[in-house]
Amino acid sequence: MCELLAMSANTPTDLCFSFTGLTRRGGETGPHKDGWGVSFYEGKGVRSFHDSDASASSRLAEVVQTHPIKSEVAICHIRQANVGEICLANTHPFIRELWGRYWVFAHNGQLSNFRAAEGFYEPVGDTDSEALFCDILNHLRSHCDRNAPLEEVVERLVRLSQTYAREGVFNLLLSNGDWLFTYCTTKMASITRRAPFGPARLKDADVTVDFESETTPNDVVSVIVTEPLTSDEQWDVYQPGEWRLWKKGEVIAAGGK
């Protein structure tokens, strides 16, 4: 299986600390060595990095770890291939435009027999994950108006996620830059950091950060992962079938427990 990482914050924040921990699991402390990718929203734009090599030894990943790209929403994925060859086209996150915004998607799991219905969006690679992403966007394009209220879009996403989950493992990160939708069938956990901030230590690297020196009292930063990244913080574990909608670091809707 792959591993996921996302961030939702109320102020532009870098992902260096969490990304450093996750990349170690890509071929060093974990088996997820078949490629990686990360996307940072900057306004309506997206800055993305992808590599089909193991993240633990990737020079490009090293650049991202040490370059503080600030964003309010970011999505990251390290891959352990089970469907599709190891190549750049099959690395997550996948990106498409819908209703004048870039949508970013990453998936952990396997629906090995999934075949998306034909539609406007088509996969470029040969993973079930990208086929799922295209299927989601085709459903939204067909059944929702671009000016539909967020509640209607989320309701559609929840129903689609529940349908996919009946066919296999479906852990999801999806964003249009304004909000972040997460869905869990097996493993997912989150942590929300706010004042008073304190130190945190990574499980997978000898790295500690004091968030008090890196933040302001008004900052709210939430991190969502497959497996907790730190050893000295209390993470909130999702239940199977649980979904949460995040915006500016806070959960604004949830359900499915």
Q: Residues with catalytic annotation?
A: 2
Query: In this structure, what token pair is assigned to residue 63?
Result: 């650049």
The alpha-helical segments, DSSP class H, found in the chain are 16-24, 59-66, 128-143, 150-165
- How many of the other CB atoms lie within 10 Å of CB of 45? 9
Omega before 240 within 30 of 0, i.e. cis: no
3-state secondary structure 137-152: HHHHHHHCCCCCCHHH
- How many of the other CB atoms lie within 10 Å of CB of 175? 27
Are the CB atoms for 171 and 109 separated by under 8 Å?
yes
